[in-house]
């Protein structure tokens, strides 16, 4: 009896050991199969894909612990690595090249570049740009310039391809039509600041300043208000806007007066005394009689 028990116990251990070994072998087989699959994928990615320009859909298949791949050229208007990139604006709706995305027959109107993903700028007369480099066949539209006509005019320029200069009296003009929308320099007016002088005895910014008393009624300078040939009688200063004082009168305030009653100043233009003369003096200018002219050497010129 004891001998039989020993034989049965030994058989059970043997069977258990076989089951354990078989289970471990199956795990090793699965693990090995998994390793083979991923080694296969890595191999194709880093070797064959460089030869194939990364432009195919790839399916990896592990059959009986050996790997194989299925390569399918990109379709549905895609290209590039794993066909992840989308084709763009190829003419006539054609598919782009599966490797680099280039369009076999060029781009649709308004697009340019190898993959037709760039947009044309603003060509004159609505012309279409070159589908290779984006240049315009004749010129740029108004208000823009540059190789691809996509840059706004720089300050002081306007018109087709920004070839025209703003008016020299402009504070800054519209880049499309040249209108001086930011105003004119002092002394100038008009849509394009083309009116050379202010009228009606005015000068300065927007001609808002009034001229003084220039000689012979001449207009003052339209920018700074100065008088080109001096002042009228009784006036002085750069702009002829100050009356003679200190008992002077006349042209350039060179004439002297001083015998008006109560020491009043004479008229700055003609030298007459508004309220008569001092005692002992007579005449329109109180310059006759016992002359007692009060000289002043502190004239303001």
**Most confidently modeled range among 74-78, 136-140, 219-223:** 136-140
Position 3 scores a pLDDT of 43
pTM, full prediction: 0.48
Handedness of CA 38, 42, 48, 53 (dihedral sign): positive
> What are the backbone dihedrals phi and psi of residue 166, each rounded to the nearest 5 degrees, phi first?
-60, 155
Mean pLDDT within 238-248: 89
Who has greater pLDDT, 147 or 295?
A: 147
Q: Render pLDDT for 7-54 as a digit per residue (tens, 0 to 9).
A: 445 556 655 666 676 666 676 766 656 665 555 555 555 444 444 444
Position 60 scores a pLDDT of 46
Position 87 scores a pLDDT of 86
Question: pLDDT at residue 72 above 90?
Answer: no
Domain that holds residue 258: 244-301
* 209 in a structural domain: no
Position 175 scores a pLDDT of 95
Position 231 scores a pLDDT of 92
* 144 in a structural domain: no
Position 224 scores a pLDDT of 87
Distances (CA, A) of 32 to 19, 46, 60, 67, 290: 20, 21, 16, 12, 140
Question: pLDDT at residue 297 above 70?
Answer: no
Question: pLDDT at residue 173 above 90?
Answer: yes
Distances (CA, A) of 38 to 41, 62, 68: 5, 9, 12
Position 65 scores a pLDDT of 47
Q: Measuring CA to CA, which residue among 107, 139, 145 is closest to residue 126?
A: 139
Position 4 scores a pLDDT of 44
Tokens of 192: 């394009």
Who has greater pLDDT, 131 or 189?
A: 131
* 48 in a structural domain: yes
* 5 in a structural domain: no
* 124 in a structural domain: no
Q: Measuring CA to CA, which residue among 117, 176, 171, 114 is closest to residue 145?
A: 176
Report the range of poorest mean pLDDT among 25-29, 35-39, 131-135, 247-251. Answer: 35-39
Domain end residue (candidates: 36, 56, 73): 73
Containing 203, the helix (H) or strand (E) segment is strand 202-203
Position 198 scores a pLDDT of 76
Radius of gyration of the chain (CA): 50
Count of the separate structural domains present in the chain: 2
Q: Render pLDDT for 257-286 as a digit per residue (tens, 0 to 9).
A: 878 888 888 899 988 888 888 888 888 888
* 61 in a structural domain: yes
Average pLDDT over the chain reads: 79
Question: pLDDT at residue 6 above 50?
Answer: no
Position 2 scores a pLDDT of 43
Domain end residue (candidates: 73, 99, 129): 73
Position 228 scores a pLDDT of 87
* 56 in a structural domain: yes
Counting residues of the chain whose pLDDT is more than 90, the rounded percentage is 25
Report the range of poorest mean pLDDT among 33-37, 148-152, 216-220. Answer: 33-37
Position 41 scores a pLDDT of 58
Domain end residue (candidates: 9, 40, 73): 73
* 51 in a structural domain: yes
């Amino acid at each position: 009896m004891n001998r039989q028990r020993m034989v049965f116990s030994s058989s059970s251990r043997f069977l258990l050991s076989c089951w354990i070994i078989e289970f471990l072998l199956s795990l090793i087989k699965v693990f090995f199969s998994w390793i083979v699959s991923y080694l296969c994928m890595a191999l194709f990615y880093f070797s064959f894909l460089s030869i194939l320009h990364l432009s195919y859909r790839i399916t990896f298949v592990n059959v009986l612990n050996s790997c194989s791949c299925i390569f399918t050229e990109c379709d549905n208007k895609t290209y590039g690595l794993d066909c992840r990139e989308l084709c763009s604006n190829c003419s006539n709706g054609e598919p782009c090249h599966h490797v680099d995305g280039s369009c076999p027959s060029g781009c649709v109107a308004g697009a340019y570049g190898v993959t037709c993903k760039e947009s044309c700028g603003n060509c004159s007369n609505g012309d279409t740009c070159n589908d290779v480099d984006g240049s315009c066949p004749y010129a740029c539209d108004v208000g823009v310039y540059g190789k691809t006509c996509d840059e706004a005019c720089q300050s002081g320029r306007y018109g087709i391809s920004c070839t025209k200069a703003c008016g020299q009296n402009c504070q800054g003009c519209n880049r499309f039509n040249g209108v001086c929308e930011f105003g004119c320099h002092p002394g100038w007016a008009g849509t394009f600041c083309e009116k050379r002088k202010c009228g009606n005895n005015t000068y300065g910014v927007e001609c808002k300043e009034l001229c003084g008393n220039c000689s012979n009624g001449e207009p003052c300078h339209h920018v700074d208000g100065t008088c080109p040939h001096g002042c009228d009688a009784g006036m002085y200063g750069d702009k002829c806007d100050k009356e003679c004082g200190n008992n002077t009168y006349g042209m350039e305030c060179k004439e002297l007066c001083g015998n008006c009653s109560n020491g009043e100043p004479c008229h700055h233009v003609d030298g007459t005394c508004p309220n008569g003369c001092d005692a002992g003096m007579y005449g329109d200018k109180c310059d006759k009689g016992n002359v007692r002219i009060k000289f002043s050497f502190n004239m303001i010129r």
